[in-house]
A and B are shown apart, each in its own frame.
Chain A
Amino acid sequence: MTGHQNDVNELSAEAVNEYVSVRIGDQLFGAPVNAIREVFTPQSVTEVPLAPSEVAGLLNLRGRIVTAIDARRRLGLPPREAGDAGMALGVERGSEIFGLIVDSVGEVLRRPSAELEPVPAHVDATFRSMVKGVHKLEKELLAVLDVSAVIGSAAGAEAA
């Protein structure tokens, strides 16, 4: 416990970013903690016929209607297996709440912001437009999601 505390103190000496780690497909992503309102399990999602494909549907989150956006569809990945609802990150934008549906949610990670590296240029453009940068973790890479871009371009592109 004390060790952990020290660790935190040490890190907080410099600028630290906190991420909710999520998995979408095979890739580990990090969503900035301050961009996320809450994490919840999407239940009874109502599909919306004629909606843009990335809109997974609407759901009721304690009396508020949440538009669920499927991160897999946004990233151009194949859909999850049937029956796997995944997890949702609640994102508030203006007066609306969006639910970004991911495969699974892990722990909160802290990384010094100085260590954030830009996404290499040869990575797919769709991917790059939704990722702010990359953190090098011990075992794998953590792609930092631009949450508003993942949700925003869904809204913008299709509404036009």
Chain B
Amino acid sequence: MDDLISEFLTETAESLDVIDSELVRFENNPDDRAILDNIFRLLHTVKGTCGFLGLPRLEAVAHAGETLLGKFRDGELQVSPPMVTLVLESIDQIKVLLESLEATGAEPAGDDGALIKRLEDAAMGKLNTGASAEDAAPAEPEVPDDYDQDLGRELRPGEVSLADLEAAFQNAESDVPVENPADTAAAESEGHLKTGDFDPDLGRELRPGEVSAAELEAAFAAAEPDPGMEPGTPDLITKDMSTEEALATAMAELKGGGDAASAEGGPRVQQTVRVGVDVLEALMTTVSELVLTRNQLMQTVRGLEDDDLKGPLQRLSAVTGELQDGVMKTRMQPIGDAWRKLPRIIRDVSTDLGKKIELVMEGQDTELDRQVLELIKDPLTHMVRNSADHGLEMPEDRVKAGKTEKGIIKLSAYHEGGHIIIAIADDGKGLDTKRIGDKALEKGLTTHEELSRMTEAQIHRFIFAPGFSTAAKVTNLSGRGVGMDVVRTNIEQIGGVVDVSSTTGRGSHFTIKIPLTLAIVSALIVGCQEQRFAIPQLAVRELVRVGMGSEHTVEKLNGASVMRLRDRLMPIVDLQGVLRLDSGDPGEDEAGFVVVLDAGGRNVGVVVDNVLDTEEIVVKPLSESLRGVSAYSGATILGDGSVIMILDPNGLAGDIVSAMEEESSAEALAAANSDMPQTQRLLLVRAGGEEPKAVPLSLVTRLEEFDPDNIEHTNGHNVVQYRGRLMPIVPLGDQIQCTEGQRQPVLVFAENHTSIGLAVDEIVDVVEERVDLQMGSDREGVIGSAIIKGKATDVVDIAWYLDQSRAGDIQRRTSKRRRRVLLVDADAFARRMIAPLLAAAGYDVTPTGGMHEVNSIAEAEEQFDVLVGDPAALARIQASGMWADLPTVAVTDWPDDGSGEGLTAVLPRSDRSALIATLDQVSHQENAA
């Protein structure tokens, strides 16, 4: 294909996308001149370029659309939805023509007369004004295939000159002298250009007016921002342009328009260079090979003691890494690119269905790999369309339900860890639990009995179940009637997860979590029956050695393999069995490893023979022949040149996970519904009696042992010299039981640069348990009693002891009811720090890692007394209206950066006592209120 044409296609496609979304914006803000000017300029450029490239059909359609827009611009016509629809139709027609141009290299034969006529009628002041309709009517039969014939002598001259002249006059008021030279000049250039293409008889009379308008408008567009440019303006157009020059101008203008568009549309005004995707892909492939070669080299050198080689190799390795990062960056695209078509889609849906919909988009600048972007584009579009189509109600129903007429679909994206989270929320009617349940029954996905025991959330998840939708094809998402199971499949194919939460009457909320990139990942190389496989590190939670003297063994439960991991049973998949690898020796239960994988959010263990290495691998897609095998997500070439398969955790775990998913979400829900606090790691100690006492482990800074001789008495306190300071020692029991010759175990708590020691008799164990306080306690220093490891155990109130050591002047409140705190912090470490602290201070803490968890808790309608967490998360919760009247206490490393606006209090993370004090204060206020 002609280079010019292909460049034209690329640029025009982008312009049209912008026009699409801009028109929708314009429809909502008809008074915004900037938007209209932008649309006008873009469409004008498209038209101009078509003319220069000799594409009469495109030019005619674009021209008609532009004329109509010109009327809006001049204020002659009021913007109305049918008008915008009409313009959008012309854009669609241009797209159709472009597609065929792309496919065949030439414009298709055909006739756009009807569309152009409608556009013209609309431009003439609508169809109901008699004169123009009559004028137009006789022209209609004459509207023929070819462009030049299309120009009926009677009709077009008047019409075009009217539109154009009016536009010209409107614009030119202060600029009259320009008009004439421009007109003639353009006429000349037009004659010069088009003699070959068009009938001179017709063209001469007609075209001058038309094109001069185009040129004029270009001139005006250029002149508008700067009226002082008049002298330059005639220059621009009096010149008798050759085709190339004109084209160059048009192209330059096109680019200018594009820049202006992005400058207005968003903050991206960086200088850019346009590079073909294939160039980037080739670069990526080359870098991938480089990474592989580097790996290979590193492996070869690993055994050698050659320092001359090691230095340069280290540098090579570092440079390769940087190059890899750099190339990955070039592949990053803002997710907004995938959303660009959505405003138009929403608009169409809303006009078709008569709904009022507002599409809110947040985090368009969030970047992700273009490969991933391509893959989620269709699922996203589908989900948004679904929300508009099925989620939102009709305006009257909304009003009845006490909502605003206009439904809101909110699309947001943000980074979390190595992932990107995309949320699609609507404030519609929510999922129809009963219908989903009925359909699940009908499809044989569940039984009545099971269904009756399921929670709403579980039933909602059926929409993702394979076979739930009526659609048969997995590939085509663009059409309707394709279900969420296909969305889920597509998202899982790229290692993502999708989930839904929905509240009847309040809307549904879909979350998608996907990795940022797919191209290069860190992987664990495992061996099984002489074969090697790669497992993406992201999915690996831990490695456990089994058999041969290890404390862990794989056990059988009714034929299924399970393993005890920290007192929980974890399902086990035997790689050898799943992949049906030939077992050379039957003596299987030997030493091996269990790779604990995160498969769809659940732990699943995979038994392998050995763990060989970790390596950066370049993920290569599987060929068609292997795509049906769910156990693999791709293949890769290792440093030694051999090809190995990359295992797909979700595929491996397969049925196990889907079964577990329901089960454990039920479990999680049950846990959330009950008043039990979450599990905590507890240190079991003995002090002042035989019965064990429990201390939340994460509060303990260190465990120390001191020689009893070093414990001194001063001012009625026991102290010990510790790290150059005096540390008070408080007995956890009645008194310090010093046994001669034995070292005294002490739990050290550090806070605010001071440490205190809690002396115990013996450190017994560390357990992870759900602390279910069975009995409150009136005793000081004890929060209550719980059953831990089958024994009644006192849970120590560390805060009380801490206060004791500081002269104990603060009276801890002795509330009968433990206050509930929802802790939201994306940082797991921070959660681990804060949760036990709060628990020790007498609060029931529900730690959550992200909005996803928060949503499901909100859905379970749990009540809390106060919200604690990082400011961003709290702001998000407030914005979503959950627990609206609760106090919010933000804990952050940067309390002064102003992010805590609207929150009850913002505290530095390092100041534990301030946190407790604030919590006590706000939750008491809450109580009083």
Contacts and interface: CB of A to CB of B under 8 A. Distances in A.
A3 interface: no
Interface stretch (B502-510, B621-629, B794-802): B621-629
Given A60-B641, A60-B643, A50 B629 contact: yes
Given A60-B642, A65-B635, A48 B623 contact: no
Interface string A47-64: 111111011011110010
Contacts of A46: 531, 642-645
A58 B624 contact: no
B292 interface: yes
A154 B637 contact: no
Interface in B509-538: 531
A63 B637 contact: yes
Scoring A46, A47, A48, A55 by chain B CB atoms within 10 A of each residue's CB, the highest score goes to A48
A159 B580 contact: no
Contact of A65 (B580, B620, B624): B620
A159 B625 contact: yes
A49 B626 contact: no
A77 B67 CA distance: 70
A94 B325 CA distance: 28
B634 to A, nearest CB: 9
Contacts of A69: 625
Interface in A136-156: 154-156
A48 B634 CA distance: 11
B635 A58 contact: yes
Nearest to B626: A51
Contacts of B644: 46
A58 B644 CA distance: 8
A92 to B, nearest CB: 12
A63 B639 CA distance: 11
A67 interface: yes
B788 interface: no
A154 B620 CA distance: 20
Interface string B573-588: 0000001110000000
B626 A59 contact: no
A44 interface: yes
A156 B531 CA distance: 27
A26 interface: no
Nearest to B288: A63
A123 interface: no
B531 A49 contact: yes
B268 to A, nearest CB: 31
Contacts of B643: 44, 46, 57-60, 65
A48 B289 contact: no
A46 B292 CA distance: 18
Interface string B725-755: 0000000000000000000000000000000
A134 to B, nearest CB: 28
Contact of B628 (A44, A47, A49, A158): A158
B579 A49 contact: yes
B481 to A, nearest CB: 20
Given A47-B531, A58-B635, A65-B643, A158 B625 contact: yes
Interface string B98-109: 000000000000
A96 interface: yes
A52 B629 CA distance: 9
Nearest to B581: A49
A160 interface: yes
The dominant DSSP class at the B interface is mixed
Interface in A103-130: none
A67 B628 contact: no
Scoring A48, A49, A50, A58 by chain B CB atoms within 10 A of each residue's CB, the highest score goes to A49
Given A46-B642, A49-B531, A55 B625 contact: yes
A29 interface: no
A63 B289 contact: yes
A116 to B, nearest CB: 29
A98 interface: yes
Contacts of A60: 637, 641-643
Interface string B348-376: 00000000000000000000000000000
Contacts of B624: 96, 155-156, 159
A44 B637 CA distance: 12
B580 to A, nearest CB: 6
Nearest to B620: A65
B653 interface: no
A22 to B, nearest CB: 20
A10 B625 CA distance: 42
Contacts of A44: 641-643
Interface in B585-604: none
Given A60-B641, A96-B623, A160-B628, A50 B579 contact: yes
B580 A50 contact: yes
B42 interface: no
A158 B630 CA distance: 12
B580 A154 contact: no
B346 to A, nearest CB: 34
B421 interface: no
B62 interface: no
Nearest to B651: A50
Contacts of A55: 625-626
B2 to A, nearest CB: 25
B580 A49 contact: yes
Interface in B603-659: 620, 623-629, 631-632, 635-637, 641-645
A155 B579 CA distance: 20
A96 B623 CA distance: 7
A63 B645 CA distance: 15
A75 B636 CA distance: 29
Contact of B292 (A63, A96, A158): A63
Contacts of A156: 624
Contacts of B620: 65
Contacts of B626: 48, 51-52, 55, 67
B289 A52 contact: no
Contacts of B581: 49
Contacts of A47: 531
Contacts of B579: 49-50
Nearest to A46: B643
A65 B627 CA distance: 14
B625 A52 contact: yes
Contacts of B580: 49-50
23 contacts: A44-B641, A46-B643, A46-B644, A49-B580, A49-B631, A50-B579, A51-B626, A52-B625, A54-B625, A55-B625, A58-B645, A60-B641, A60-B642, A60-B643, A63-B289, A65-B637, A67-B623, A67-B626, A96-B623, A98-B623, A155-B625, A158-B625, A159-B628
Given A58-B635, A60-B643, 19 more contacts: A44-B641, A44-B643, A46-B643, A46-B645, A48-B626, A48-B645, A49-B579, A49-B645, A52-B625, A52-B626, A55-B625, A58-B643, A60-B642, A65-B643, A96-B624, A154-B625, A155-B625, A158-B625, A159-B627
Interface of A: 44, 46-52, 54-55, 57-60, 63, 65, 67, 69, 96, 98, 154-156, 158-160
Interface pairs A-B: 10 shortest CB-CB: A155-B624, A49-B579, A67-B623, A58-B643, A159-B628, A155-B625, A46-B643, A96-B623, A50-B629, A65-B620
Interface of B: 289, 292, 531, 579-581, 620, 623-629, 631-632, 635-637, 641-645
